[in-house]
Amino acid sequence: MKPLTIALAKGRLLDPSARLLASLGFDLNGAANSRQLIWDDVARGARFLIAKPSDVPIYVENGAADAGIVGQDVLREGDADVYEPLALNYGHCRLVVAGKAEHAAADWRFNAGLRVATKYPRAAQKFFSARGLAAEIIGLAGSVELAPMVGLADLIVDLVDTGQTLKANGLIELAEIFKSQAAFIVNRASFTLRADELRAMMEKIEERRDQ
């Protein structure tokens, strides 16, 4: 039998995800601090992949992993056809629109030619389109807060956790697009073909989560 393969998003979710899996009895010692990309727990018939967050839904959708742990923000930005049966109650954050203080709450909504810098072009486009705003979305790969400071963009759409980064860069939150937390996702074929293993695992995760 092939090991049950779980893809884990590296970055801020990896530590709490590894702790959750360790509490279920899986052996993931050192995964969070290693450069190794595959961890096998032969005794429990499990294999863990450590992947870039936006790649986790892709591994799961294609069946290269049976399940995965990734932020809901990543799921919303992608379009992967996966099941997302469990929200894990950690990794909480929010996707928000932010801008310099002079963009008071009302004024950005009357601006026809907004430029918006973001790592989430899809969610941003959807948010502005739904409000009839012809925003020009500028896709960046990181440090989005920089864009308004140097005149690349009027607004940013980005994840905030505590809001410290926004404040440190002189930005204020203007609107919330959605709330996010870590989610357990499952491949559609695996959900049926490996139903018993996955269901048992999800039940245990739910018990841990709700303690």
Partner 1 sequence: MNPSLEKQIPSGVADLFFNDAARKRAAENALAQTFARWGYSEIIPPMFEYYESLASAAGAELREEIYRFFDRDGRTLALRADFTIPIARIVGTKLYDRAMPLRFFYVGSVFRYEEPQAGIRREFTQAGIELIGAATPDADAEALALAVESLRALGLENFRFTLGSVAYLHALTRDLQLDDAARLALANAWRRKNISALNGLLDSLSLDPARRAALAQIPALAGDARVLDRAPAPNDDARAAIEHLRAVLARLAPMGIRDCLTIDLAENRGMAYYTGILFEAFVEGLGFSILSGGRYDNLVERFGPPLPAIGFAVGIERVLMAPRAARAQNRAGIAPDVIAQLPADFAAMQSARAAGQIVEVDVLNREADVLREFARVRGAREIFWRDGPKENL
Which residues contact residue 61 at a Cβ distance below 8 angstroms, ignoring those fewer than 6 apart? Answer: 80, 81, 82, 187
- Minimum separation from the CB atom of position 112 to partner 1 (A): 26
Q: Given the complex with partner 1, which of 79 and 102 has the nearer CB atom?
A: 79
Encode the chain in three state secondary structure.
CCCEEEEEECCCCHHHHHHHHHHCCCCCCCHHHCCCCEEEEHHHCEEEEEECHHHHHHHHHCCCCCEEEEEHHHHHHCCCCCEEEEECCCCCEEEEEEEECCCCCCHHHHCCCCEEEECCHHHHHHHHHHCCCCCEEEECCCCCCHHHHCCCCCEEEEEECCCHHHHHCCEEEEEEEEEECEEEEECHHHHHHCHHHHHHHHHHHHHHHCC
Residues 6 or more apart in contact with residue 5 via CB below 8 angstroms: 46, 47, 48, 49, 64, 65, 66, 67
Which range touches partner 1 (CB under 8 A), out of 22-30, 39-47, 161-169, 190-198?
190-198
87 touches partner 1 (CB under 8 A) = yes
Q: Which is nearer to partner 1, 129 or 192 (CB)?
A: 192
Nearer to partner 1, 70 or 144 (CB): 70
Q: Which of 27, 84, 145, 173 binds partner 1 (CB under 8 A)?
A: 84
Report in angstroms how near the CB of residue 151 gets to partner 1 at its nearest. 33
Residue 187 binds partner 1, judged by CB under 8 A:
yes
Token pair 């404040």: residue: 167
> Binding of partner 1 at residue 210 (CB under 8 A)?
no
Interface with partner 1 (CB under 8 A), residue from 195, 200, 203, 207: 195
> CB under 8 A: which stretch of 37-45, 103-111, 127-135, 187-195 binds partner 1?
187-195
Q: How far is the CB of 192 from partner 1 (least distance, A)?
A: 5
- Candidates 51, 86, 155, 156; binder of partner 1 (CB under 8 A) is 86
Q: Which stretch binds partner 1 (CB under 8 A): 20-28, 38-46, 61-69, 99-107?
A: 61-69
Q: Is there binding between residue 83 and partner 1 (CB under 8 A)?
A: yes
Of 45-53, 57-65, 113-121, 137-145, which part binds partner 1 (CB under 8 A)? 57-65
Binding positions for partner 1, rule: CB under 8 A: 58, 60-64, 79, 81-87, 183, 186-193, 195
